[in-house]
Chain A
Amino acid sequence: SAVISQKPSRDICQRGTSLTIQCQVDSQVTMMFWYRQQPGQSLTLIATANQGSEATYESGFVIDKFPISRPNLTFSTLTVSNMSPEDSSIYLCSVAPPREAGRAFFGQGTRLTVV
């Protein structure tokens, strides 16, 4: 299993500013995943973060808007840059330890409101 701590749990931000979300895992994992859940919607993968290499972004997401860091095997950050109200969402960090047969563990999420 894996326990994920995500910070902050929620924030209200002004448009045009940036917010960095932190994700800490209690074990070493190769890949970490960042998802976005817009209000009333399902989860959409933003990017996959590998330690020691650049993140891989899904279609519709770009590094300039969502820069990701992965300095070691237990930690990652996602920054939401130059925010607009459309960025108001829950952002979730996820990991899938190798012995878990594809099962993903999720942090509690960061509820972001942009005003």
Chain B
Amino acid sequence: AQSVTQLGSHVSVSEGALVLLRCNYSSSVPPYLFWYVQYPNQGLQLLLKYTSAATLVKGINGFEAEFKKSETSFHLTKPSAHMSDAAEYFCAVSDLSGNQGGKLIFGQGTELSVKP
């Protein structure tokens, strides 16, 4: 069975600083991994996804994530934080067992705060 663990329920950075949000996964099969962002009072928006192609994945808004099989990690980074990046970020793995493609297992979420 797949699972996802996000390290740190809350991360605070200064504007212009590096953003690093950590995600580790457990999967018995090659995983599909995703990062979603949820702005206050809004739905979920896909930032980026890994589907067994390039290990370094670039997403929207300057975010990227690197799939490291040896570390079972899929950490999200952005070189320079912007105030508009303040939101909740969720790492998720797709449950591909049986015919349940599209069923996602989410991490606990990390709230990102950006200080001026």
Q: How far is the CB of A113 from chain B (nearest CB, A)?
A: 13
- A109, B49: Cβ atoms closer than 8 Å: no
Q: How far is the CB of B107 from chain A (nearest CB, A)?
A: 6
- The reply on B70 being an interface residue by CB < 8 A is no
- A106, B44: Cβ atoms closer than 8 Å: yes
Q: How many residues of chain B get a CB closer than 8 Å to chain A's CBs?
A: 25
Residues on B facing A (Cβ under 8 Å): 32, 34, 36, 41-44, 46, 49, 51, 90, 92, 94, 96, 99-109
- The reply on A66 being an interface residue by CB < 8 A is no
- A101, B49: Cβ atoms closer than 8 Å: yes
- A104, B102: Cβ atoms closer than 8 Å: yes
Contact residue among A43, A102, A109 (Cβ-Cβ distance under 8 Å from B101): A102
- B102, A31: Cβ atoms closer than 8 Å: yes
- B106, A43: Cβ atoms closer than 8 Å: yes
Interface string of A29-58 (1 = CB under 8 A from B): 001010000000111110010000000000
Cα distance, A59 to B109, chains bound together (Å):
21
Contact residue among A103, A107, A109 (Cβ-Cβ distance under 8 Å from B46): A103
- A33, B49: Cβ atoms closer than 8 Å: no
- A42, B107: Cβ atoms closer than 8 Å: yes
Listed by A's residue number, 6 A-B pairs whose Cβ atoms lie within 8 Å are A31-B103, A33-B104, A98-B101, A101-B32, A104-B102, A106-B36
- B44, A102: Cβ atoms closer than 8 Å: no
- The reply on A25 being an interface residue by CB < 8 A is no
Cα distance, A102 to B104, chains bound together (Å):
8
- B109, A104: Cβ atoms closer than 8 Å: no
